[in-house]
Amino acid sequence: MLLGAVQLGLLAACIVLFVPMAMAGWHLSRNKMLFFSCALFITLAVGVHLMPYFPSISAFISPSEVITPAPSISSLYHDSCLSSLHSVLYSGVVKQCDNESDCNKSWEWIKSNQVNDCEFQKLKKSDASDLLNGSWVVVAGDSQARLMAVSLLELIMGSEQMERIRGDLFKRHSDYSIMVNEIGMKLDFVWAPYVGNLTELVLKLKRNKNFPDVMVMGAGLWDMLHMNNASEYGISLRVLRDNILTLLPVSSNLDPDSGGVSESKSTRLLHLFWVGMPTLMTSMLNTDEKRERMTDVMCNSYDDELNRSKLLRETGGPLLKLDIHLLSNSCGPQCTADGMHYDEVVYGAALQIMLNALLIESNQKPQ
């Protein structure tokens, strides 16, 4: 990709230099030559900067794919509003909470220049309905992923309708599927407690050649509790990453040296999110086994493996992290009863972060 940019620059320089010289051969005056030079230079400069916004033009200019104008996803991540999406602050988080209705927990994006420029907004039911109208959303993973699905359905359908299906959605360890007819949105929750289950799901999607528009996944708690081996977790994450990359239409543009995935030509974009593990309040966990195995040290090494697997955008991978660890940690012990599953406010914030990321990625927002 870098090579493409360099070649493009050289090409532009040659045109600026040689076209007016050739024209001079046609007896143009020096002033006219200068004028042509400047005009060409400006045209090319503008063209180069606009090209990423006109994929069809760049496809036309570079049929051989030598030039890939879009920056890699990882650099997009660091430059863009995506990296400030998690700047949130809770309020109403009180220590003693005897009466549920006293505990009116809420959250806001921190008011800073960066956040203001990004124009983050909490999407209401109607906004979210517009955004997800006609789409297929797959949420796969453990209980944290299930809580994300709950938050999404609560926003889209309202809490009353949600109450009616809550029982089905919370049948332990089961899949759940619903078609929200009003907006033609299909949501599949796939119970996938281990990373290997997520890989299986990805392979199944690939076999069926049928891909969702949005895919939200995450697993780790079961692995930590039952396997308790971070390096094996890391291995399974790498297998998942490799399979996701072959699923993506952009995989052919993967440049292992830059560690990034470049944007594809005209293919539909699959939006991928990773539901991170929550902060575990070890002393609050409800079994001895959990308290023994799910320690801070173990959490750290699982997190470390996640980084090293390069599954996430921050590390050049394909998935955008919904940082439940951060979001749950700042809500604190007042927001959890069992040290592992947090109040709705945490997953509600994560959901809005996800929806705003979708807005950014579908170019309906400042980058």
Residues contributing to the site for ligand NAG (CB under 6 A)? 99, 101, 104, 106, 129-130, 133-134, 182-183, 191, 194, 196-197, 229, 231-232, 300, 303-304, 307, 314
CB-nearer residue toward ligand NAG: 191 or 211: 191
Cβ neighbours of residue 130 closer than 8 Å, sequence gap 6 or more: none
Q: Residue 30 CB: number of other CB atoms within 10 A?
A: 9
| Smallest separation, CB 229 to ligand NAG (Å) | 4
CA distance 295 to 280: 8
Residue type, 183: I
| Smallest separation, CB 283 to ligand NAG (Å) | 21
CB-nearer residue toward ligand NAG: 19 or 239: 239
- Cα-trace Rg, the chain: 24
CB-nearer residue toward ligand NAG: 154 or 314: 314
CB-nearer residue toward ligand NAG: 96 or 99: 99
| Smallest separation, CB 182 to ligand NAG (Å) | 6
| Smallest separation, CB 271 to ligand NAG (Å) | 18
| Smallest separation, CB 100 to ligand NAG (Å) | 7
CB-nearer residue toward ligand NAG: 16 or 230: 230
CB-nearer residue toward ligand NAG: 93 or 148: 93
| Smallest separation, CB 129 to ligand NAG (Å) | 5
| Smallest separation, CB 141 to ligand NAG (Å) | 11
Q: Residue 191's beta-bridge partner residues? A: 141
3-state SS string over 33-57?
HHHHHHHHHHHHHHHHHHHHHCHHH
Question: Which of 305, 363, 303, 327 lies closest to 82 in space, CA to CA?
Answer: 363
CB-nearer residue toward ligand NAG: 229 or 251: 229
CB-nearer residue toward ligand NAG: 127 or 255: 127
| Smallest separation, CB 231 to ligand NAG (Å) | 5
Q: Which residues of 306-327 are buried (b: 16+ CB within 10 A; e: fewer)?
A: beebbbbbbbbbbbbbbbbbbb
Backbone phi, psi, residue 185, to 5°: -100, 130
In terms of DSSP H, where are the helices of the chain? 2-25, 30-50, 55-61, 73-79, 113-118, 125-132, 143-169, 195-208, 221-222, 230-247, 288-293, 296-308, 324-331, 344-361
Q: Residue 138's beta-bridge partner residues? A: 188, 215
Q: Residue 56 CB: number of other CB atoms within 10 A?
A: 9
Cβ neighbours of residue 32 closer than 8 Å, sequence gap 6 or more: 23
